[in-house]
Amino acid sequence: MTQITNHLPTAELQALDAAHHMHPFSTQAGFETRGARVITRAKGVFLTDSEGEEILDAMAGLWCVNIGYGRDELADVAARQMRELPYYNTFFQTTHVPAIALSAKLVEIAPDGFSHVFYGSSGSEANDTNIRLVRHYWATKGQPDKNIIISRKNAYHGSTMGGGSLGGMSGMHAQGGMPIPNIHHIGQPNWYAEGGDMTPAEFGLMRARELEQAIEQLGADRVAAFIAEPVQGAGGVIVAPDTYWPEIQRICDAHDILLIADEVICGFGRTGQWFGSQTLNIRPDIMTMAKGLSSGYAPIAGSMISAEVAQVVGQTEFNHGYTYHAHPVAAAVALENIRILEEEKIIQRVHDDIGPYLQGKWRALADHPLVGEAQIVGMMGSIALTPDKSRRAPFAAEAGTAGYITREISFANNLVMRHVGDRMIISPPLTITHAEVDLLIERATKTLDQALAKIKSEGLLVAG
Ligand code: PXG
């Protein structure tokens, strides 16, 4: 067999890809007629494909490459750690320096009250840990029936049985027997799509109180925890109305329900502070971390656990752990990533400079005739496409049709701007420059103009 390298013709790479690589969240058969774009390298905010095209990656990979591509420091640290100690575990009365140093650092940067970190290799694994952790917590306190976890429709918490069950994606639940028992979903705080004639403030309170109603219906003695993303990411960058989170916090406190903030996207500077919980002023007991923890350079995730929960769970053996828990190479890479975030004041820059700059330009896209609203927190933004912006109307066509058309045009314009249904989303590297933001907005605007023309010409500019 010929050696498979970057130098093979694109068509050959695509044919091999279609033949042997099963893609996530994709229709595999489709790759035979239309090959996947082959990404060969990346630097800063730009990807390069096998045809030499430069693509502005306004999604930072999958919301993870917070410090941008091509940082040699992380490669150097990984190589050094691989030579010194490529692997060891911390299961049987052993530990290692990357695990010690990263845990101490994470507790230092976390809000007050956190004391311990339990690791995984992905956000999904960390959320699976959280399910077992909160149930074990209440069982240890003598309440084994306090084991229901409340989550939200259209939430994303991963793709394993646990993570997918916590998530509220109906398309995922339709396959493979999810959700697992004792997971309960309430409505999401998506005022644009579901708020009707209510004000955002009224709607936010109404959706938060669904949590209280669910607790009352299920019984507070049955509910272990509520899990939510501070800002829903994969659900379409849905920013809750201001009234939502204070009410959620009040309800969790009043009913003795643990609050799990899934910070997989919001963490590590995405919202302009270390954690989205700080931006939204919430006090979680557990935080899920992944993605920006290593800027995607190595697979590592974790559950950040409050001192109170850690103390209770720590009394007995917690029969849970992954081979790659606190993997030394991944932990060393994460530490170096955090050093760069701190020393280069990247999060402060999101808060004070590049964040506000992007926000102003992104919000102005709401003036485009195809756009019903623009939302943005820190450096994660969305716009809702609509055939009739005067009344936030959805399209008559199947949800996602207009979004897909727009995404394809965007990709052809060398801008990675994703769609979730008929919302377009961005989450660029936090290191993006002002000039690159200008280019992002220029390509997004051109994309919206072209998408509007195409949607119109296909007779799809019709409200449902
Ligand atoms: N929680 C949240 C909030 C996430 O966004 C996970 C957990 C799971 O993490 P892992 O590392 O297991 O993937 C995620 C992941 C998308 C997309 O298309 C989003 C994610 C993953 C894949 C695709 O927006 N988020």
Ligand 1 atom nearest to 160, measured from its CA = 12
* Any domain includes 159: yes
Distance 233 CA to ligand 1 centre (A): 8
Confidence (pLDDT) at 71? 98
Distance 401 CA to ligand 1 centre (A): 22
- Do 337 and 354 belong together in one domain? no
Which residue among 127, 130, 156 has the greatest number of ligand 1 atoms within 8 angstroms of its CB, and so is best to mutate? 156
Distance 3 CA to ligand 1 centre (A): 33
Distance 413 CA to ligand 1 centre (A): 25
Position 4 confidence tier, pLDDT thresholds 50, 70, 90: confident
Ligand 1 atom nearest to 121, measured from its CA = 11
Which residue among 26, 57, 63, 188 has the greatest number of ligand 1 atoms within 8 angstroms of its CB, and so is best to mutate? 63
Q: Which of 319, 343, 367 is the last residue of a domain?
A: 343
- Do 303 and 387 belong together in one domain? no
- Do 402 and 286 belong together in one domain? no
- Within 10 angstroms of residue 258's Cβ, the number of other Cβ atoms is 23
* Among candidate residues 159, 211, 167, 163, the one with its CA nearest the CA of residue 186: 211
Q: What is the pLDDT of residues 231-272, one digit of tens each?
A: 999 999 999 999 999 999 999 999 999 999 999 999 999 999
Confidence (pLDDT) at 214? 98
Beta carbons of 381 and 361 less than 8 angstroms apart: no
- Do 238 and 110 belong together in one domain? yes
Helices 328-343 and 72-84: crossing angle in degrees, nearest 10, is 150
Mean pLDDT of the chain: 97
- Within 10 angstroms of residue 1's Cβ, the number of other Cβ atoms is 4
Q: What is the pLDDT of residues 309-331, one digit of tens each?
A: 999 999 999 999 999 999 999 99
Burial 126-164 (b: 16+ CB within 10 A, else e): bbbbbbbbbbbbbbbeeeeebbbbbbbebbbbbbbbbbb
Output the six-digit token pair for 434: 């002002």
Ligand 1 atom nearest to 301, measured from its CA = 11
* Any domain includes 319: yes
- Do 334 and 359 belong together in one domain? no
Q: Supply the range of the domain harboring residue 439.
A: 37-67+348-457
Confidence (pLDDT) at 179? 97
443: domain CATH number is 3.90.1150.10
* Any domain includes 29: no
* Any domain includes 11: no
- Do 300 and 214 belong together in one domain? yes
Confidence (pLDDT) at 215? 98
Confidence (pLDDT) at 1? 58
pLDDT exceeds 70 at position 457: yes
Ligand 1 atom nearest to 299, measured from its CA = 11
Cβ of 152 less than 6 Å from ligand 1: no
Residue nearest to atom 7 of ligand 1 (CA): 157
Residue nearest to atom 19 of ligand 1 (CA): 234
Q: What is the pLDDT of residues 42-99, one digit of tens each?
A: 999 999 999 999 999 999 999 999 999 999 999 999 999 999 999 999 999 999 999 9
Q: Which of 343, 371, 388 is the last residue of a domain?
A: 343
How many domains is the chain partitioned into structurally?
2
- Do 256 and 353 belong together in one domain? no
* Cβ neighbours for 207, distance < 8 A, ≥ 6 positions apart: 186, 187, 188, 189, 240, 244
Cβ of 267 less than 6 Å from ligand 1: no
Distance 293 CA to ligand 1 centre (A): 13
Cβ of 158 less than 6 Å from ligand 1: yes
Helix or strand (DSSP H, E) at 227: strand 223-228
Q: Which of 309, 343, 377 is the last residue of a domain?
A: 343
Cβ of 229 less than 6 Å from ligand 1: yes
Cβ of 128 less than 6 Å from ligand 1: no
Cβ of 66 less than 6 Å from ligand 1: no
Distance 157 CA to ligand 1 centre (A): 6
List, in sequence order, every residue forming a beta bridge with 380; answer none if it has no partner: 377
- Do 335 and 368 belong together in one domain? no
pLDDT exceeds 80 at position 2: no
Cβ of 188 less than 6 Å from ligand 1: no
* Any domain includes 442: yes
* Cβ neighbours for 72, distance < 8 A, ≥ 6 positions apart: none
Confidence (pLDDT) at 5? 84
Cβ of 129 less than 6 Å from ligand 1: no
Beta carbons of 14 and 38 less than 8 angstroms apart: yes
- Do 172 and 291 belong together in one domain? yes
* Among candidate residues 132, 295, 32, 166, the one with its CA nearest the CA of residue 23: 32
Beta carbons of 348 and 145 less than 8 angstroms apart: no
Position 168 confidence tier, pLDDT thresholds 50, 70, 90: very high
Distance 63 CA to ligand 1 centre (A): 8
List, in sequence order, every residue forming a beta bridge with 259; answer none if it has no partner: 226
Q: What would the mean pLDDT of 5-32 be, rounded to a whole number? A: 94
Cβ of 169 less than 6 Å from ligand 1: no
* Any domain includes 438: yes
Confidence (pLDDT) at 6? 83
Confidence (pLDDT) at 212? 98
* Among candidate residues 277, 147, 276, the one with its CA nearest the CA of residue 224: 147
pLDDT exceeds 80 at position 340: yes
Q: In the chain, pLDDT over 90 holds for what percent of residues? A: 98
Cβ of 263 less than 6 Å from ligand 1: no
185: domain CATH number is 3.40.640.10
pLDDT exceeds 90 at position 132: yes
Cβ of 109 less than 6 Å from ligand 1: no
- Do 372 and 304 belong together in one domain? no
Cβ of 151 less than 6 Å from ligand 1: no
Cβ of 124 less than 6 Å from ligand 1: yes
Q: In the chain, pLDDT over 70 holds for what percent of residues? A: 100
